[in-house]
Amino acid sequence: MKTVYFDNAATTQMRDDVVKAMVDVMSNNYGNASSSHSFGRSSKTLIEKSRKAIASYLNVSAGEIVFTSGGTEADNLVLRSAVRDLGVSHIITSKIEHHAVLHTVEQLKKEYGITFDYVDVNNDGSIDYPHLEALLNTSKKTLVSLMHVNNEIGNLLDIKRVADLCKAHNALFHSDAVQSIGHYNMDLQDVPVDFLAASAHKFHGPKGVGFAFVRKNSGLKPLIFGGEQERGLRAGTESVHNIVGLETSVKLAYDNLEADSKKVKAIKGYFIEKLKQDIPGVIFNGRSADMDKSSYTTVNVCLPVPPNKSAMLLFQLDLKGIACSKGSACQSGSSQNSHVLAEILSEDDLLKPSIRFSFSIFNTKEEVDYVIAVLKDFV
Annotated catalytic residues are 330
Bridging pattern class, strands 195-199 and 172-176: parallel
CA distance 195 to 218: 9
Amino acid at 48: E
Three-state DSSP class for residue 223 = coil
DSSP 220: -
CB 261 within 8 Å of CB 249 = no
One-letter amino acid for residue 274 of the chain: K
Tell me the C-alpha distance between 153 and 340, whole Å: 8
* Number of Cβ within a 10 Å radius of residue 31: 17
Longest dimension (CA), the chain: 67
3-state secondary structure of 355: strand
Q: What is the rounded CA–CA span in Å between residue 260 and residue 254?
A: 9
| 3-class DSSP state of 358 | strand
User: Do 216 and 61 form a contact (C-beta atoms < 8 A)?
Assistant: yes
Rounded Cα distance between 5 and 28, Å, is 33
**What DSSP element (H or E) covers 53?**
helix 38-58
DSSP state letters, 66-95:
EEESSHHHHHHHHHHHHHHHS---EEEE-T
Full DSSP string of 291-311: TTTB-TTEEEEE----HHHHT
Cα separation, 183 vs 205, in Å, equals: 13
Sequence letter at residue 101: V
Taking the C-alpha atoms of 181, 182, 186 and 192 in order, what is their torsion angle to the nearest 10 degrees? 20
CA nearest to 313, candidates 357, 271, 347: 357
